[in-house]
Amino acid sequence: EKQILIHNKVEFVEDRGDVVWAMDSDYKLTAFNASFEQQLKEEHLGEAYRGMDLRPIYGQGVFFSPCEQGCQKALNRYATTSEHTFLHNGDTTIHEFAFQPFMDSVGNVIGCCIWQKDVTKEVNNVQRLEESELRYREAQEITNLGHWNWDMTKDEITWSDQLFHIFGQVPGEFEATFEALIDIIHPDDQQAFHEDVERCINERVLHDIVHRIVVNNVEVRYVHQ
């Protein structure tokens, strides 16, 4: 009953063109969706049918090349997920393959399901974000600028890397709270800083002040918040 349920789900999975299929422990195809059929045709690997031997497909097909190792692990009870890069029509695409074993009523592995999806967009978005953050950090280092965010409810402050450098603190060692920030500010400027923050919050205006900080209890620096 579980196997029938899995097969029925496989056949009706068409979301985003994901390629989904199942096989038994002898590498015989037991269920597949339309995207699997289409992928076979695109690689000129023949028509999909239940009972076909998938080992030649895994050995010959470029798209299916990661499957032999992944299926072998699944048949040994190890569910795995891996990403693979392909060149398609001149474009580089990244696909995620998930290999999931399924078992009979007494726990014997009788096959596995394979779910493939195109994650190119998601991976590119992450890479663009990482590149943007890198450029932002570099810009802060060049201009000696930093930024911080204050969660007033939790009294938690997050600092950018360059701000740690400006304030002479070590990431991981400095506990960023509002009171800890105040302690670094020059004693003669703490009241003015407090008043400017209160005005910013209560009147909803920009926090804009020049004040001194004391770095390592020795060096005095001027900063513009």
- What's the confidence (pLDDT) of residue 151? 84
Structure token pair of residue 170: 């070590």
The span from the first CA to the last CA of the chain, in angstroms, equals 66
Give CB contacts under 8 A, 24+ apart, made by 140-149: 141/165, 148/176, 148/181
Side chain identity at residue 111, one-letter code: G
Return the structure tokens found at 212. 């001194």
Share of the chain above pLDDT 70, in %: 88
pLDDT tens per residue across span 9-52: 665 555 557 888 899 999 999 888 888 888 899 888 989 999 99
Token duo for residue 153: 């409810």
DSSP 192: H
Which pTM value belongs to this model?
0.52
Region 160-169 average pLDDT: 85
Q: What is the mean pLDDT of the chain?
A: 83
Residue 25: count other Cβ atoms within 10 Å of its Cβ: 14
Q: In the prediction, which pLDDT does 8 show?
A: 61
Q: Which of 7, 103, 183 is nearest to 194 (CA)?
A: 183
Give the C-alpha separation, 42 to 161, whole Å.
Answer: 49
**R_g of the chain computed on alpha carbons:** 29
DSSP annotation of 98 reads: E
* Mean pLDDT to the nearest integer, 159-173: 85
Q: How many helices (H) and strands (E) does the chain have?
A: 8, 9
Which element (helix H / strand E) includes 13?
none
Convert the pLDDT of each residue in 60-92 to its tens digit.
888 888 888 899 999 998 888 888 887 767 778
Mean pLDDT, rounded, for 171-199: 89
What would the mean pLDDT of 141-160 be, rounded to a whole number? 80
Say which range, 21-30, 95-104, 142-151, has the weakest mean pLDDT.
142-151
Say what percent of the chain tops pLDDT 90.
Answer: 24
Report pLDDT for 33. Answer: 86
Burial of 117 (0-12, 13-18, 19+ CB in 10 A): middle
Q: Which residue reads 């919050």 in tokens?
A: 201
Predicted confidence (pLDDT) at residue 122 exceeds the cutoff of 90: no
Tokens of 197: 């923050």
